Amino acid sequence: MEALATILFVGAGVGFILGLRMLAHPETARKGNLVSACAMGSAVLGTLVTILEARRGLASDAVETAASASPDALLYVAGGLLVGAVVGIPAARLVKMTSMPEMVAIFNGFGGAASLLVGWGTFQRASTAHQSAQRVLDGVTGDNSAITTEVNVSLTALLGSFGGGDGRFITATIFLAILIGGVTFTGSLIAFGKLSGFITTRPLLYRGQNLINGLLLMVIAGAGVLLVMNPEESWVLPVCIGLSFVLGVAAVVPIGGGDMPVVISLLNSYSGLAACAAGFATDNTLLIIVGALVGASGIVLTRIMCLAMNRSLANVLFSGFGSVTKQSSGAKGEHREARSLTPHDAYYVLEAASSVVIVPGYGMAVAQAQHAVKELADQLEANGADVRFAVHPVAGRMPGHMNVLLAEANVPYEQLAEIDDVNPSMETVDVALVIGANDVVNPDAKGNESSPLYGMPIVEVNRARNVFVLKRSLRTGFAGVENPLFYLENTSMIFGDAKATIEALVGEFKSG
């Protein structure tokens, strides 16, 4: 039985690594997700086997001690599986693709909360054992201060025995699990609110914000040092939990909605780091491995998002970005008019085009137009046009948002192109079709130093021969910055629902 549990845990670790590797490519992402799910199932089965093994008295002393501290462990695991299935299955089936960023944010938050609870539970378990020993000692020896002091100090040893390491190190990992988990939980809730529209997407700033956040972090760090040096000061732990919640809110509130892809990837990394710390606290090798994988991949993805938005990682960590305010790209008092076309008029240009670049954005997700876009691409290819999809890394509301939607519509991976592959030949493109994208095609990022987006790599559709922008109106994007692309001579706006517009274009091609 013990060997079976080991095999299941090792299999789970290998499965997580393989699943993460397969998620790196769109063609194998679905299988990677399935492999990761099976790995999680293997980890749960391994846990159940370990509990049954301890119940039968066949486990090692360490495992048996852990099981005896929680006689209802099997019931807890079964209850967790039931609740998870009741929540997870409907969520996976009913949540719309447009709401996927919010769902990812919530998942990150729950992951952080779970690590916080594991750290808190580990400390409470050691504290309860210490208090029991204290009562036994007091009953035997009375008020013997020398022995009492010895037992008080032994709380550190108890933490070390439960965590399988040095007591102070285990206490430090418990503190980190609680701190990072708490920040991830409340930070993810704020991100969810911004993505859902419950909270304004504009940055909420106040004077001295960074200074206050820095002082708050210093207070938390001081509390953590006190806890590590004196675990008996158990009152410090609830204080750390409360302050970590406050820090999570304070860190994400100042960030604008346009920077949410960076925030989501960073919070994903935080959830992994919290899980890794919880793994050290509980001497769980599998949790350490999984947490390290999530944390490292999240940091790498955050770095990619930062480069795509011309932000530094330090800006993200210290909430020094997202203070974009609404600014006009034109001079004050300048009157500009955007030219508009009907789908019927746009069809004639597309019908004559030999090369078309499609730039998907959040508007495509809102309209759920990905399948119609795939059908239009097929019609264009059948008409002899070369069709490519220029996917900006931060298009949408979460990392890979557009890739997920296009993969759902079975757009071939070969048609997806990086912006560095598309921009050099943009002058030769007959039509650049922008579907709901805004900030990622804003030419001010290249030529207007006063723009908040200046320096951000964009899809340079403004250099194409014709640009068709599908939007409901001329309103700004999520970053709140006006887009001069709408008023260029080679740009035509096609107003209306993106899906209805694309379907009208497909109808024009079919009618010939």
From 113, 118, 234, select the one nearest 174 (Cα to Cα). Answer: 118
Whether 298 and 272 have beta carbons less than 8 Å apart is answered as yes
Take residue 430 and report the two structure tokens written for it: 């007959």
How many angstroms separate the CA atoms of 47 and 74, rounded? Answer: 9
Inter-residue contact 166 to 159 (CB < 8 Å): no
Residues in the chain, overall count = 512
In the block, tokens 């980190």 appear at 176
Contacts 24+ apart (CB under 8 A), 449-453: 450/327, 451/327, 451/329, 451/481, 452/324, 452/325, 452/327, 452/479, 452/481, 453/324, 453/479, 453/481
Catalytic residue among 143, 166, 421, 439: 439
Q: How far apart are CA 116 and CA 107, in angstroms?
A: 14
Secondary structure class of 258 (helix, strand, coil): helix
Q: How far apart are alpha carbons 379 and 377 in whole angstroms?
A: 5
Spatial CB neighbours of 48, under 8 Å, sequence gap ≥ 6: 74, 77
> Looking at residue 340, what DSSP letter applies?
B
Reply yes or no on whether 72 is catalytic: no
What is the set of active-site residues? 439
